[in-house]
Amino acid sequence: MAQIPPAILNWFAAKGWSIHPHQQDMFDRAQNPATLLIAPTGGGKTMAGFLPTLAELANGDHDGLHTLYVSPLKALAADIKRNLRTPVDEIGLPIRIEDRTGDTSATRKKRQRADPPHILLTTPESLALLTSYEDAPRMFAGLQRVVVDEIHALAESKRGDQLMLALAHLQVLCPGLRRVGLSATVEDPDAIARLLARHPDPCDILLADPGPDPDIAMLQTEEMPPWSGGGAAYAIPAVLEQIRQHKTTLIFHNTRAQAEIFFHNLWLANEEGLPIGIHHGSLDRQQRERVEAAMVRGDLRAIVCTGSLDLGIDWGDVDLVIQIGAPKNVKRLVQRIGRANHRYNAPSKALLVPANRFEVVECVAALEAVKAHDLDGDPRGRGPRDVLCQHILIAAAAGPFEADALYIQMTSAGPFTDLTRVEFDDCLDFCATGGYALHAYDRWQRLLQRPDGHWQLRDPRAAARIRMNIGTIQDTDTLKVRLKRSRGGKPLGEIEEGFAASLTPGDTFLIGGQIVRYEGLREMTVEVTRRADKKPKIATFMGTKFATSTQLSARILDMFAQESWPQLPRHTADWLSLQRDVSQLPQRGRLLVESFPHDGREHVCVYGFAGRNAMQTLGLLLTKRMEEVGLHPLGFVSTDYATLIWGLDALTDAAPLFRIEALRDGLDSWLAGNAVMKRTFRASATIAGLIERNMGGQRKSGRQATFSSDILYDTLLKYDPDHVLMQITRDEAMRGLVDFGRIEEMIARVGDRIDLVRLGRITPLAAPLLLEVGKVPVKGSAEERLLAEESERLLSKAGLTS
C-alpha cells in the first residue's frame, strides 16, 4: 500500500496536527473505484478528499489534469482553492490549482482547455459544458480522480443527475477514473453511494466521528412572536445582543425576501454600527464577493444569509448560527448548524428564532427531532429523462456518437441504471426529430444518422446553441436591477421577472438591504432609485421553497393532542388554547376544515397533516370539486400540515367536496390542465432543450414574437398527449404529488369524521399559511366572474355602460 509522502507528514507535524483516522482511511482506499466519506463540517473533510491527490502529484511527474473537484457552489470552488493553496505552497508541492465556474473569464477558460491545471475546481454545469467540446478527450487525458464535495446537496436535485451523466462520459474517456464523494450527515448513505459509483462498481462508505451533539436552543426574547408574519422583527434586540456576545454570527433565513427584511430591520436597530453584511443568491456578484472577502478577513460580526451560504464553506471564525424562521426540515437544520464552530470535536452552537407562533411549535418539534437524531428526507427516485435528453444533445455537441455505446454509458450513471432501451430511444428520437407523432420536419431534424450508423448534428452550428442552454437550475427568469443613471448605474442584484411585472412605477421594495423605488424597465433591466423610506411597499420576491418534513408534522400533531403545553413558551401555549377555543386543534383520525372570509375573499383551510406532496394533491382535488359545485376557487397553497384554498364563495358543507366518486370523475382532464403541470412542463421542456433559455443575446427581442410555454403544453395535450415530453412532465410532476390512491385511502380512513368549522375571521392556526410561497392558481369560472365585475366597474367609472 502506498505511504503518505514524508513531506506531507512533516507538514502535518510542523502544524502540530495529526492525520485523522478517516483521512488515513480515505488514503488507504485511494485506489478504490468509488468511496464515500460522511463527516461533519470542520472534520478535515476536504483534506481527506485531496490527500491522495497531493501524494500522487508530489513527485511532479504527472502531466495535465489529475483531479477534478466538483461542488454545488461557485463560491465553494473559490474557497477550496484558497484552502488548498496554503498546504500546497507550504509543503512546496509542484501542483497547479485553478477553478473554473460561470464567473471565470473567457480567455482563462480557453487556456484551461489547451493547458489544464493538475487540479481543476468546478461546478456540475461547468463540467457538463467542458464535456460538450470536441477536444474533451485531450483536455481530460490522464485524469485520475474526481472529488464530489457536498454530494448530499447535489443528490437532492437534478444537478446531481447531470453530474453523474457527465462523470459517465468522463469514465469512458478515462477508464481508470476513481470517484470520491464527501457528504454531510444524511439519513441514507447507501443511496448517495449508489448515486456516486459507476454502476455496478462497489462503493465503500466511511463514517467519520460525527463529533459531539450540537448545542441548540430557542432564543429567549422579551417580546412575543406574532401570530403570523415571517420577519421575526420582534427578535431584533435579542439577536443584536447575541451578535455582541459572539465573534461571528451567521443568521440564516429560509427565503431571500425574509433575509432582506430582517437585514433592513437589523440595521435600523444597529445603533453602535456593528459590521453586519448580507449575502444571498439574488445579489450582484461583486456585492457577494465583497461580503465573502470581508468575512474571510474576519471584518464582519454577522452575516444575514440564505441558502447561498448554506454549504460547507470554511470562512472565518463562526461561533454562532442563528436560524430565523422554522428550519423546514431537520436535516437542513443539522447541516446548517455544522457552520458554527468549525473546530473538530467542539459542539456547534445554534439558536432558533421562530418568526411566528406556529413556528414556535415547529421549532420545539425540530429540537426534539435533533436530540433524537431523527433525520428525514425523501428518496429521489429514478433519474429524470429531461436531464437525459440534455445529455444526449451534449454528447452530439462533442461529436458523432453511437446509440448503443451512449445507452451503455448513460445506464452506468447511478440515477439511470434502470433506464430501458425504449425510454432511451424515445429520448434520442426527441432530440433528433422532436419525436412527434406527426413527422413534419424531416429536412430540419436536429440530429442525423450517418450511413455508418453514428448520430451527429445536422448543422454543426447547433453545438453553440446547445452549450448555451446547459444546466438544470430552474431559476425563474430574472431581471437585473440597476440604479437609474444616464449611463447605466450600479448593479444591485436580480429579481424574478414575475415580481418585476407586478411593479408599477413608484412601488418600493428591498434589495441588498436598501429600499429602492421602481422607475421602469429599460432593455430588460429594472431601473430603480434609492429611497430613504422606512418601510418598503412591497417586499416579496421569491426565495427557495422548503418543505417541512413529514416526520416533523407528525411530531406537531402529537403536540396538539396534549391538554396543556409546558414545553412551549407561555405565549404560544396561550395561542394554541385560543385556537382550541375559537375553532379546534387538528386531531389524528379526524379532518378539521375551517371556512372563513379574509381580505375580501373566502378561504377554506384543510388540516390533513399528510406531508406536502399529499396536501398539494389534495389541493388539486378539492379545487376541482369546488369548481364543480360553483364555489369559484382561485388558488391554493399547501404545506406539510394544511392546504389553504381561496375563492369567491363560502364553503358551508364539506361533505360534497370529499365524495370519492365525484373526486374521481373528470380527474384526468382536471389534473392535465392545472398550473402544476404547466409549471413542470416549462421546467422539463427547458432542460430537455425544447425551450431555449439563452439565444445568445437575442432573448426577448421582439416581444410579440415570443409566446408562453403554456401554449406548447396545451397544444401537445390536444394533439400528441403521449409525446415523450408529456410523459416526462407527468413523471416529474408526480415527484411533488402523490397517487390519487393514497388520497382515496386517506379520505376513506377519515370517513365522516370531518369537522367543518365556519368562522367570521381567520383563525390563529390558519394565519401563518397566508405567507407560504408556492401558490398554485386555479383557472376556472372565478376568472370570468372577476373579469365581468372589473369590466363593469371600470366602464361605469369611465362613464360608459356596456
User: SS3 for 246?
Assistant: coil
Measured from the CB atom, is 660 or 787 closer to other proteins?
787
The single-letter DSSP state of residue 283 is B
Measured from the CB atom, is 204 or 720 closer to other proteins?
720
User: SS3 for 331?
Assistant: helix
Peptide bond into 415 cis (omega under 30): no
Measured from the CB atom, is 661 or 722 closer to other proteins?
722
Measured from the CB atom, is 378 or 692 closer to other proteins?
692
Please state the closest distance from residue 512 (CB atom) to other proteins, in A. 25
- Partners of 139 in the β-ladder: none
Please state the closest distance from residue 466 (CB atom) to other proteins, in A. 10
CB 756 within 8 A of CB 604: no
Please state the closest distance from residue 520 (CB atom) to other proteins, in A. 7
Q: Where are the alpha helices (DSSP H) in 174-272?
A: 189-196, 236-245, 256-269
Taking the C-alpha atoms of residue 142 and residue 177, their distance in angstroms, rounded to an integer, is 9
In this structure, are strands 248-252 and 276-279 parallel, antiparallel, or unpaired?
A: unpaired
The b-or-e profile of 711-746 (16+ CB within 10 A means b, else e) is ebbeebbeebeebbbbebbbbbbeebbbebebbeeb
Measured from the CB atom, is 225 or 689 closer to other proteins?
689
Q: 250 — phi, psi (to 5°)?
A: -100, 130
Please state the closest distance from residue 434 (CB atom) to other proteins, in A. 3
Q: Cell 451578535 maps to which residue? A: 243
Measured from the CB atom, is 205 or 468 closer to other proteins?
468
Measured from the CB atom, is 151 or 725 closer to other proteins?
725
Please state the closest distance from residue 497 (CB atom) to other proteins, in A. 13
CB 355 within 8 A of CB 229: yes
Please state the closest distance from residue 508 (CB atom) to other proteins, in A. 16
Element (H, E) at 49: helix 45-57
Measured from the CB atom, is 86 or 802 closer to other proteins?
802
Please state the closest distance from residue 480 (CB atom) to other proteins, in A. 19
Measured from the CB atom, is 273 or 707 closer to other proteins?
707
The single-letter DSSP state of residue 677 is H
- Orientation of helix 740-750 relative to helix 612-628, angle to 10°: 80
Please state the closest distance from residue 465 (CB atom) to other proteins, in A. 7
Please state the closest distance from residue 683 (CB atom) to other proteins, in A. 15
Q: How far is CA 137 from the centre of its chain?
A: 32
Measured from the CB atom, is 31 or 694 closer to other proteins?
694
Please state the closest distance from residue 458 (CB atom) to other proteins, in A. 8
Taking the C-alpha atoms of residue 72 and residue 77, their distance in angstroms, rounded to an integer, is 8
Instruction: Extract the C-alpha cell encoding 25.
Output: 482511511
Measured from the CB atom, is 532 or 800 closer to other proteins?
800
Which residues bind to other proteins, rule: CB under 8 A?
A: 433-434, 436, 438, 440-441, 443-446, 459, 461-462, 465, 502, 504-505, 520, 600-601, 634-635, 648, 689-692, 695, 703-708, 711-712, 715-716, 718-720, 723, 777, 782-784, 786-791, 794-795, 798, 800, 802
Taking the C-alpha atoms of residue 130 and residue 136, their distance in angstroms, rounded to an integer, is 7
The b-or-e profile of 79-118 (16+ CB within 10 A means b, else e) is bbeeebeebbeebebebebbbbbeebeeeeeeebeeebbb
Nearest Cα to Cα of residue 688 among 721, 659, 731:
731
- Write down how long the chain is: 802
Taking the C-alpha atoms of residue 790 and residue 797, their distance in angstroms, rounded to an integer, is 10
Measured from the CB atom, is 404 or 790 closer to other proteins?
790
Taking the C-alpha atoms of residue 136 and residue 132, their distance in angstroms, rounded to an integer, is 7
CB 220 within 8 A of CB 569: no
- Partners of 205 in the β-ladder: 36
Measured from the CB atom, is 378 or 720 closer to other proteins?
720
CB 615 within 8 A of CB 721: no
Q: Is 303 left (phi over 0), alpha (psi -120 to 50) or beta?
A: beta
Measured from the CB atom, is 611 or 780 closer to other proteins?
780
Nearest Cα to Cα of residue 591 among 739, 760, 735, 743:
743
Measured from the CB atom, is 567 or 781 closer to other proteins?
781
Please state the closest distance from residue 679 (CB atom) to other proteins, in A. 16
Taking the C-alpha atoms of residue 220 and residue 235, their distance in angstroms, rounded to an integer, is 9
Please state the closest distance from residue 482 (CB atom) to other proteins, in A. 18
Measured from the CB atom, is 283 or 688 closer to other proteins?
688
Q: Residue 142 burial (CB < 10 Å; 0-12/13-18/19+)?
A: middle
Q: How far is CA 680 from the centre of its chain?
A: 15
Please state the closest distance from residue 782 (CB atom) to other proteins, in A. 6
Please state the closest distance from residue 716 (CB atom) to other proteins, in A. 5
Please state the closest distance from residue 639 (CB atom) to other proteins, in A. 21
Please state the closest distance from residue 723 (CB atom) to other proteins, in A. 7
CB 339 within 8 A of CB 318: yes
Nearest Cα to Cα of residue 99 among 129, 68, 55, 60:
68
DSSP 31-76: TSSEEEEE--TTSSHHHHHHHHHHHHHTTS---S--EEEE-S-HHH
